[in-house]
Structure 1
Amino acid sequence: MEVADLLTPGAIRVCNAVKSKKRLFQDLAEIAAAAHDIDEAIAVDALQERESLGPTGVGHGVALPHARIDGIDSVRGVFVRLDRPLDYGSVDRAPVDLVFALFAPVDAGVEHLKALALISRTLRDPAVCAKLRANEEPDALFGILTETTDTKAA
């Protein structure tokens, strides 16, 4: 599995003035609806439900919200770079500015876990995060995310 298997250029945005986690989840769901034909309301509810189990902010300004969605056939991703870091309740208490959301079929099983591991490894690389933070063009962000497919196993 590679990042390009999860993400399309249309599923990447730079978002301005996101002031709450709820607004972020609405933006992520909106992008998922447009890019992957995922029901927006179901996506918001699923992200909020998963987040209620524990924060998906993994530290160093990165969040990996994820949810299982009925009616989709493969794991899909959405990437958002926030212009201003958002207080997210991350494990290290640092605000978040890089968000990669994953939407998986309800019965995805190991594919969901593989996708989470891949994105986690990719965004754990300080050089990748620095490049993402230095760019505002969705095409450039897509290139950065998809060129890092040879990351080491966790």
Structure 2
Amino acid sequence: MELSKLLMPEAVRVLGHLTSKKRLFQDLGEVAAAAYGLNAAVAVDGMQERESLGPTGVGHGIALPHARLEDLSKIIGVFLRLEKPLDYDSVDRQPVDLIFALFAPKDSGVDHLKALALVSRTMRDPAICAKLRANTDPAKLHAILTEARAPQAA
């Protein structure tokens, strides 16, 4: 599995100031709708439902919201870089500025977990995160993410 298969260039955006996690989820849903034709409201509901189980802010300014959705044929991703970090209730209580959302078919099973692990490994790489934070061009952000070779799990 490769990030280039999960993330279209149109699904990478840079946003300024967001006021809440709810607004962030709405923006993620809108980007998913524009890039993949996903129903934005369904995407938002799915992320909020998953978030109610526990925060998806994994620390170091990174959030990995995700949801399993009906009527989705493959796993897709949306990446947002925030110019101003947002309070997200992360495990380390730090605000987030790098958000990689995943949406998977309801019955994707282990593929959803593999995709989540791939994104997680990639986003745990300090060099990749530094490059992402140093760029504001969505095309460059997409290239950084899709050209990254995430460390393999041991």
Equivalent pair of 1:3/1:145 in contact (CA under 8 Å): yes
Structure 1 residue 33, shift from structure 2 partner: 0.4
Q: Give the aligned partner of residue 88 of structure 1.
A: 88
Q: Give the aligned partner of residue 2 of structure 1.
A: 2
State how many pairs are aligned: 154
- Structure 1 unmatched runs, 5+: none
CA RMSD of aligned residues (A): 0.8
Q: Give the aligned partner of residue 78 of structure 2.
A: 78
Structure 1 residue 151, shift from structure 2 partner: 2.5
Equivalent pair of 1:3/1:149 in contact (CA under 8 Å): no
Which amino acid letter does the alignment assign opposite residue 123 of structure 1? M
Secondary structure of 1:151 counterpart: coil
Cα pair distance change 1:123/1:48, threshold 3 Å = same
TM-score by length of 2: 0.98
Distance 2:9 2:104 in 1: 19
Equivalent pair of 2:122/2:150 in contact (CA under 8 Å): no
Q: Among the aligned pairs, what percent are the same residue? A: 66
- The answer on 1:133 being equivalent to 2:143 is no
Distance 1:136 1:22 in 2: 23
Structure 1 residue 112, shift from structure 2 partner: 0.3
- The answer on 1:21 being equivalent to 2:25 is no
Q: Give the aligned partner of residue 42 of structure 1.
A: 42
TM-score by length of 1: 0.98
- Summarize deviations over 1:27-58 as a string: whole Å, max 9, x none: 00000001111101101111111101100000
Distance 1:153 1:58 in 2: 17
Which amino acid letter does the alignment assign opposite residue 67 of structure 1? A
Which amino acid letter does the alignment assign opposite residue 97 of structure 1? D
Equivalent pair of 1:135/1:141 in contact (CA under 8 Å): yes
Which amino acid letter does the alignment assign opposite residue 35 of structure 1? A
Secondary structure of 2:46 counterpart: helix
Cα pair distance change 1:150/1:45, threshold 3 Å = closer
- Structure 2 unmatched runs, 5+: none
Which amino acid letter does the alignment assign opposite residue 28 of structure 2? L
